[in-house]
Structure 1
């Protein structure tokens, strides 16, 4: 189906030549997300649906769907009659508050995971650490660090779910902390340090040692915040 200017959009195709709807939706979501993460859409800037649709050669529908997903992740905000805007970067105070919340939630989640995780969850946590070794983070672009960041988030979310406390797991997931932190930019050597710290958490959980699991998670988050403070944190505005 062609739109008013005669272009045929993949999103409107129902025949075999067009990609499945979900594949297209996911592709557009990742493309728009990359623009936000890489600051091609500047923090605080308005996000034009029509302009994005033209740039990606799709109809506005998958762009709107992508922006709705990004809103749920805290990467864009929607205002009545004003459309979407990319969220501002975390300030130093915002970064500290984010880690304050994580330090309240995640050591307890790790402690409970060491007590309550079943074998399937233990295998999942271990597999995530192994998979992270195969996706080292070695660059500033989202396309480079995307896999590492996603696995990093899944590691923390899986531990939280293994706590057998649904409200706690939901609170950890809703922070979307990794997306906001990775938007601030790369830290040299951060990947190997993160892996070493995840290894320590993993060993404590596998050994069913609640106290050590909580300590390892607390040390990991404290070290991560210290690494963030080791570079200039961009200010909003």
Structure 2
């Protein structure tokens, strides 16, 4: 439960949600609490306490908690309400990457086979959204990189032409859950951006073998980085 002592501890550094974009603000505030582990895995999340903490009504909080449940960040039990979901275990990380290593190198090769000038421009535009890796290690610092990571992999899946593969990756919410394990700062981000650039360059060049290998190398390196962080 978001207990009174947690409210007291966070009240001074959790800004009240802006009324103009209320639901979006509440969503980001609550997600930040989860991603930064201000709300630890297993912690109960009380609708009324969250509403008081953010100085908003209960209605947007209910909507946001439902959305976060659909993304796997919260769980809901009858008569108990919402709790923060566990982080991925090493076995779950390895299992997730085993699936991705089966699907995404193929998607990159297929995207290279089907590449157009417009596709190349879209990849370059996506890479430009994060010109340099973030330095901080809190969610507020690195969420732009996390969102770029999700968009980049989704774009490769889209360019492969397989909507089934794209939807399968979306349903895992893997980027959100992996970044929830932690972000170790600039070195991690720099390596991620370099690896994305290599994938994009190979796809844009229409080199199917290089695109597949670049994606495979990126996923293997990312898997190892997250396994080093651990739960």
**TM-score normalised to structure 1 length:** 0.85
Partner of 1:164: 161
Aligned residue runs from structure 1 range 25-36, under 5 A: 25-36=23-34
Is the contact made by 1:121 and 1:158 (CA closer than 8 Å) also made in structure 2? Answer: no
Deviations 1:84-114 (A, max 9, x none): 1111011111111111111111111111111
Q: Distance in 1 between matches of 2:221 and 2:147?
A: 20
Is the contact made by 1:132 and 1:148 (CA closer than 8 Å) also made in structure 2? Answer: yes
Deviation larger for 158-167 or 76-85: 76-85
What do you get for the CA RMSD once the two structures are aligned? 1.5
Q: Distance in 2 between matches of 1:194 and 1:99?
A: 15
Partner SS, residue 131 of structure 1: coil
Query: Could you list the runs of 5+ residues in structure 2 that have no partner in the other structure?
Result: 1-17
Structure 1 moving runs of 4+ over 3 Å: 117-121
Partner of 1:143: 140
Deviations 1:86-143 (A, max 9, x none): 1101111111111111111111111111122444433222111122224x22222110
Q: Distance in 2 between matches of 1:125 and 1:71?
A: 31
Partner SS, residue 201 of structure 2: helix
Partner of 1:6: none
Aligned residue runs from structure 1 range 101-180, under 5 A: 101-134=99-132, 136-180=133-177
Is the contact made by 1:28 and 1:56 (CA closer than 8 Å) also made in structure 2? Answer: yes
> Among residues 166, 182, 185, which one is paired with 1:185 in the alignment?
182
Deviations 1:169-221 (A, max 9, x none): 00111111111111111224111111111111011110011111111000000
Q: Distance in 2 between matches of 1:230 and 1:80?
A: 36
Partner of 1:228: 226
Partner of 1:66: 64
**Structure with the higher helix share, 1 or 2:** 2
**TM-score normalised to structure 2 length:** 0.87
Query: Could you list the runs of 5+ residues in structure 1 that have no partner in the other structure?
Result: 1-17
Aligned residue runs from structure 1 range 212-223, under 5 A: 212-223=210-221
